Amino acid sequence: MRNPKTLLSAVVILIFASPTFGTSSADGAKSVLLLIPRHAGPVVENIGQVFTRQIQQRCDAKIVMSGNVPLRVELALEKGIPAEGYRIEDRQGGGVRIAGNGERGLLYGVGKFLRNSRYDQGWFTPGAWRGTSAPKCPVRAIYMATHFMNYYEAAPIEELNHYIEDLGLWGFNTILIHFPTWQFNGLADPAARKWLDRFKTVLTRAHKSGLQVGLLQVPGEGYQNAPREFLATKVPGNRRGNFGVNLCVSKPEVCAHLLAMHDAILDQFKNVGLDYFCFWPYDEGGCACKDCWPWGARGLLRISKELVPHIRARFPACKTILSTWCFENENEANPDGEWVGLAKAMVQDKGWADYLMADGHDDYFPKYVLETGVPGELGLLNFPEISMFGMSPWGGYGANPAPAHFEKLWARIKHKASGGAPYSEGVFEDINKAIYAQFYWNPDCRAEDTVKEYAAFEFSPDSAGDLLEVIRIFESNHSRGRIGQSALRAFELASKTDAALTSQARTSWRWRIVHLRALIDKELFERKGRLEGGTLKASFEELTRIYHAESAHSMPIKPPQLK
């Protein structure tokens, strides 16, 4: 990082406006002058580029590089602001100053400023929000599932990079991805090389945006061509997936094989740099032999602990996360003792893990954590399902916001959580991402307040109230088998908003997935759930284009097929 004092004195963004322009002018600024400091580092330079892109894609204000301007918006790095926080304040003589305690804090301050500005009253009208804000949760991650040719695998790389930058503006600080070994026959596999080339580029760009990056890996999983004699004993239950390459880590030769395999994978990311490494237990993963079971208390811990020195030898500052996904459900008739066994193991040795991740399918959250506490007293992260819950195919009907659902889930753990990493399959849950970003920033934030801020920013402040009602209706009609008459009201409000939006907002993919959801729900209600007709066909085809899902596996995001 560059010297903060140097940046403090040098980083300036100037907004060029008419002589009568003020912070509340309805006319807005017709030009924006962006001055990049002479000594700015690449992250600050990129923040300036994000600022420019956001304004240019939302309104007709022009970016210029010189001019005498009456309004000044100064970007600065300043000590004394809490970690990753920012301060937005008025400047003497007019204008606005946005200061971050570091580069990420500056990014978040720019995000807050942009979200509270207007783009629909002719040009660009700066927002009036002033104050200091800092996040309560240190880990504010998104897990991007990178498989099955979903959005993250299929979207043009520059579009994906811009989307990650957009998530940073909302307050996320970490991007997690998974290198799916089960898809490949080793690192020499051309498909593996293509995947690595893409996502090393993506993670490098995320770092340039000021964000942290990490891998979420199954420590006991091999490649497709893993030796057959190394294969694991299948674990019980139907929520602990197995693509046929889970390995038995109780065998010394298997551990040696896995350590060598992960050494080679880690080396692929040496030039990128990893800030987090998450050990994943199931779906995929696991072995139920007598020496590995219960997996979450024995085999998983054995191979994960052995991997830690290999990770930290390459990335000394890398933090480690132990996931407990699909550990025993205490309501099952035959619990396998994973939580109790994990707690005992952590009493003996917890120094290898920094955080414990816990969550479950649907509304379930591990009772052990709620009633007994976090094993090892590690920092607690959640892993909320924001993509697939209650709707199939997920994303196939457009936006899937559920603010009340997520606020209920978050309320159970917000007093003890250090953050989390929502599970994402694409962009259709963009509103849900914003909701969790704000939960992690301020655990007491109301989900509907985020929805209103999102609607005002992405669409229009004048339509935010109507769109909140639309989102409430979407959630009430989330189940595809119980779409009610309220779908007609949602479509009416969405159509009213559509007519009032700027051309930029009306044609944006964020608005299209909301408008299409309203249209699809109306059609399904009127057709009593039947997938038929030209309107539905055209809507599903447009969603396919937005998601770049033409070659997607039918499970993740490809819209439903018409009868």
- The pLDDT of residue 388 is above 50: yes
Q: What is the pLDDT of residues 231-261, one digit of tens each?
A: 999 998 877 888 999 999 999 999 999 999 9
Q: Which residues, 6+ apart, have CB-to-CB distance to 18 below 8 Å?
A: 27, 29, 30
Q: What is the mean pLDDT of residues 419-436?
A: 98
- The pLDDT of residue 206 is above 50: yes
Picking from 147-151, 159-163, 255-259, which range would have the lowest pLDDT averaged per residue?
147-151
Query: Which letter, b or e, does each residue of 260-269 get, where b requires 16 or more Cβ atoms within 10 Å of its Cβ?
Result: ebbeebbebb
DSSP string, 135-153: -S-SEEEEEE---TT-HHH
Give 114 or 14, the one with higher predicted confidence: 114
Q: What is the mean pLDDT of residues 382-399?
A: 94
pLDDT band for 134, please (50, 70, 90 cuts): very high
308 φ/ψ angles, rounded to the nearest 5 degrees: -55, -50
Q: Which residues, 6+ apart, have CB-to-CB distance to 372 below 8 Å?
A: 339, 343
pTM: 0.94
Picking from 87-101, 222-236, 315-329, which range would have the lowest pLDDT averaged per residue?
87-101
pLDDT band for 15, please (50, 70, 90 cuts): very low
Q: What is the mean pLDDT of residues 207-223?
A: 97
pLDDT at 431 (0 to 100): 98
Both tokens of 37, joined, read 């400091």
Quote the mean pLDDT of the chain.
90
What CATH number belongs to 4-133? 3.30.379
Closest C-alpha among 77, 88, 87, 5 to residue 43: 77
Prior bond of 294 cis (ω within 30°): yes
- The pLDDT of residue 429 is above 80: yes
Burial (CB count within 10 angstroms: exposed 0-12, middle 13-18, buried 19+), residue 297: buried
- The pLDDT of residue 20 is above 60: no
- The pLDDT of residue 345 is above 70: yes
User: In which residue ranges of the chain is CATH 3.20.20.80 found?
Assistant: 139-360+374-384+412-450
pLDDT at 330 (0 to 100): 58
What CATH number belongs to 139-360+374-384+412-450? 3.20.20.80
Q: What is the mean pLDDT of residues 453-464?
A: 97
pLDDT at 557 (0 to 100): 47
pLDDT at 359 (0 to 100): 94
User: Scanning the structure block, which residue is given the tokens 């050494």?
Assistant: 263
Q: Are 219 and 287 in contact (CB under 8 A)?
A: no
Apex 517 CA angle, 515 and 518, nearest 5: 65
- The pLDDT of residue 271 is above 50: yes
- The pLDDT of residue 478 is above 50: yes
The CA distance from 559 to 552, in Å, is 10
Q: What is the pLDDT of residues 43-90, one digit of tens each?
A: 999 998 999 899 889 998 876 666 776 667 788 899 999 999 999 999
User: In which residue ranges of the chain is CATH 3.30.379 found?
Assistant: 4-133
Q: Is the dihedral of CA 482, 487, 489, 490 positive or negative?
A: positive
Q: Are 281 and 302 in contact (CB under 8 A)?
A: no
What separation, in Å, do the N-terminal and C-terminal C-alpha atoms of the chain show?
57
The region that residue 529 occupies, defined by phi over 0 for left and psi between -120 and 50 for alpha, beta otherwise, is left
pLDDT band for 362, please (50, 70, 90 cuts): confident
- The pLDDT of residue 31 is above 50: yes
pLDDT at 69 (0 to 100): 64
CA dihedral 387, 389, 392, 395 (to 10 degrees): -20
Burial (CB count within 10 angstroms: exposed 0-12, middle 13-18, buried 19+), residue 197: exposed
Both tokens of 201, joined, read 């580029």
Q: Distances in Å between the alpha carbon of 2 and those of 106, 199, 318?
A: 14, 27, 21
- The pLDDT of residue 328 is above 90: no
pLDDT band for 332, please (50, 70, 90 cuts): low
User: Scanning the structure block, which residue is given the tokens 């199931």?
Assistant: 282
Query: Helix 157-169 and helix 103-115: axis angle, to 10°?
Result: 90
